[in-house]
Amino acid sequence: MEQDVTLQVITYIRHPYGEEDRMTFQGKGKLYLKDESVYLRYEEQLEDLGKTATIVQWKEAEKDSPVVTIIRQGDVSMKQVFEKGKTWSNAYLSPYGRLELEMITHQVKIEKEWLKGKIYLSYDVYIDQQKIGHYQVEIEYQEERGILH
């Protein structure tokens, strides 16, 4: 059964030369359980890039060493897998072209109850072995009638 949720995604980026960016997305989505995995599905309107459907997936049983997968499809397409201490390589496809990315995950943390939770991700992104930034992502969701803080 799908549950309507409100969500907020905050991304902090620290670039190699010290400058920092913060991006925030707020919206509505669906939370559901399928084959022992939890799915959070929502649509993002990315600045200058159009609409992208996003799915965040994790397994209920992986509390001690969680693995989070984010799949984006639409005007921007990519798959990211976050597991502490692991490296993941994949292509980032946008209207501007294709980039081969490598991500090294430092932290994956999930705090959750069924209809409310937070996902924390901390990772570095590289293009052609050159670090382009350190990313920290917080995804907070809760049942739609609740209020995010």
Global pTM? 0.88
At 44 the pLDDT is 85
Answer yes or no: is pLDDT of 10 > 90: yes
Residue range 95-106, pLDDT digits in tens:
888 889 999 999
Burial-class residue 105 by CB neighbours within 10 Å (0-12, 13-18, 19+).
Answer: buried
Residue range 3-143, CATH number: 2.40.128.20
d(CA 70, CA 81): 7
Determine which of 3-17, 18-32, 111-125, 135-149 has the lowest per-residue pLDDT on average: 135-149
Identify the residue whose tokens are 């490598």: 102
For 34-82, how does the pLDDT look when each residue is reduced to its tens digit (9 = 90+)? 988 999 999 987 666 678 899 999 986 666 789 999 999 988 899 999 9
